[in-house]
Amino acid sequence: MAVVGNLGRSSRAESRGLLARHPLTSYFVIAYLFSWLIEVPVALSAQGVLPALPKPAIAIAVVAATFGPTVGAFVMTGVTEGGEGVVRLLRRYVHWRVGIVWYLFLLVGVPIIIVLGTIVVPGALSSFQPIVGPLLAAYPLAFLMTFLLGGPLGEEPGWRGFALPRLQERHGPLVGSIILGLLWAFWHFPLFWSGVWTPPTAANMVMFVVMITALTIMMTWVFNHAAGSLLITMLMHASFNTFANKVGAPLFPAPIFNDYGLLPVLIGFTVTAVVLILVTQGRLGLPKGARSPGLTAPSAAPAPVPST
């Protein structure tokens, strides 16, 4: 029995060592596996390959799948930094002292960017519906529900909590953001076939990848100025999701948005991302030679063993 116990401990140690040697790869594998093991059956059910699922089960599954990035973040933070690293990650959930300008940007600036991206689309202004009052009255509750169940709480501790600091450290802010944006976008892909998203046309999928990559560049800029606050990135994520879906779409129900609903956000975010790249010379708020926020603790320094 002792031999079996020793073999078990040895196997666990080897697995832990493998994860620690490849922290980013391991993180993305965990995040994708957790989410896709839930979302792929939902998508197959919606496409008729598997038996149909009841709508409540689909809703619960989609919400549960959003926590794949968080699961990956806590597993890999525990492996690479131990309990102290997990505590530091949790503290970033409530890091709120970042300056009022960043709250204004994510709560007011992001909606303005979406509106500006909308009104340049042909036919958008002529389709305007003056229902601002009811939409704003429902907005706080919609924002809260989006924050808790719509992705921000489940995703940001992973994308910005674990992955972004390490990608910035290795590849720099711009390239690191592009890598993260692509991986963040592809992680969503099963939802295109789940019946709860926009149709899985080639145009929608390409627009989504570009839009998410542009949004990632914007969020990196905010993240770096907010000292790695996860609260700020979660609020920004919730602001985008809530305004685009609950306010922007009802205000401007132009026919073109029936097939290309991502177009206004794509325009607004892409233009903003290009401006940020030019103005910051690709640094996105991270000074040259500075460590990425989220990697300031000595125990978070890169290990001597090369990692991927």
Three-class HEC string of 201-258: CHHHHHHHHHHHHHHHHHHHHHHHHCCCCHHHHHHHHHHHHHHHHHHHHHHCCCCHHH
- Report the range of poorest mean pLDDT among 7-16, 18-27, 219-228, 229-238: 7-16
Q: Per-residue pLDDT tens for 283-302?
A: 999 999 999 999 855 434 43
pLDDT of residue 259: 61
What is the chain's mean pLDDT, rounded? 90
Domain edges within the chain: 2-294
Phi, psi (deg, nearest 5) at residue 8: -65, -45
Q: Per-residue pLDDT tens for 51-106?
A: 999 999 999 999 999 999 999 999 999 999 999 999 999 999 999 999 999 999 99
pTM above 0.85, yes or no: yes
Upper half-sphere CA count for residue 127 (Cβ side, 13 Å): 18
Q: Per-residue pLDDT tens for 192-232?
A: 999 888 778 888 899 999 999 999 999 999 999 999 999 99
